[in-house]
Amino acid sequence: MAWKKLLESEDLIAYEKSSKATKVRIEARLKDRRWRVYKTHNFLDHGEWTSHVKEYIAASIAEAKDLLSELKNEKDVSMHDVGFLTLPKLEMKRCFKEDFVEKWKFCIDDFNFDNFVVVRYEDEVRMDIVLHDRYNAFERQILERIISSLGLKEMSNKIRYDFFYFKKHSAKRRIYPKADDDELVAKFEVNIGPSNDSS
């Protein structure tokens, strides 16, 4: 990939290089009498773009240009280098629906439907996402895929979400004996102590 100059003006200098699955952009912007320099890596992951941005500050245009040259000569990084891990697959199943609330279970990479999201449709869309701790590195990708899968962007421009994590699933299945329709099954324990009656 070769760098291509996109723009150079009094307050903005920008370069970009790209391939099919990666786009890298560096730019210097003059803001509040300081030059802010950004390097943005965009990675294509399963049909969706993911971004990673680094920001630097330079005191003068000469410093900003030196920094741009350094950033252009830096070795290209991968998704793994910047802390992105690929999220292979997210499959969702609706398990509850009312007028303004629904619950969806989802599995990641065909691994158990232990994760779920509860969506409440109010003035703003509110989501509680319960996720196994092993997936906390995927938080942003999972959020984007849930929003996309459920078509929430088309419903509201206000989406509020909270993530909750668990480490192990502790629910136990309890089996109770089946009773006949007209029979009541109950267990009583009675302790009978010595009588205090002195008569």
Query: pLDDT truncated to tens, each residue of the chain (199 aa)?
Result: 789 999 999 999 999 999 888 899 999 999 888 899 999 888 887 677 777 788 888 889 999 999 999 999 988 777 666 655 555 578 899 999 998 999 999 988 766 778 999 999 988 899 999 988 877 777 888 888 898 888 888 887 789 999 998 876 555 555 555 555 555 454 445 445 555 555 4
- pTM summary value: 0.45
Q: Would you say 65 and 28 are in contact if contact means Cβ atoms under 8 Å apart?
A: yes
Strands of 109-183 (E only): list them: 111-121, 125-132, 159-166
Same domain, 110 and 48: no
* DSSP H/E element including 34: strand 34-45
| Residue 199 located in a structural domain | no
Which residues on adjacent β-strands are paired with residue 37? 28, 56
Examine residue 183 and state whether it is found in any structural domain, yes or no. no
Same domain, 69 and 96: no
Under DSSP, the state recorded for 191 is -
| Confidence at residue 87, expressed as pLDDT on a 0 to 100 scale | 58
pLDDT of residue 105: 93
Long-range pairs of 48-52 with CB within 8 A, sequence gap ≥ 24: 48/141, 48/144, 48/145, 48/148, 49/23, 50/79, 50/84, 50/140, 50/141, 52/82, 52/83, 52/84
* CB neighbours of residue 123 within 10 Å: 7
In a domain, 156, yes or no: yes
> Using DSSP, how many helices (H) and how many strands (E) does the chain show?
3, 10
Domain-embedded: residue 101: yes
d(CA 27, CA 17): 12
- Among residues 73, 100, 119, the one where a domain terminates is 73
Look-up: residue for tokens 């890596």?
Answer: 41
**Does residue 177 belong to any structural domain of this protein?**
no
pLDDT value at residue 113? 72
Q: Are residues 104 and 63 in the same domain?
A: no
What pLDDT is attached to residue 161? 92
pLDDT score at 142: 86
Report if residue 11 sits inside a domain.
yes
Contact between residue 124 and residue 141 where contact means Cβ atoms under 8 Å apart: no
Domain count of the chain?
2
On whether both 23 and 59 belong to a single domain, the answer is: yes
Range of the domain at 31: 4-73
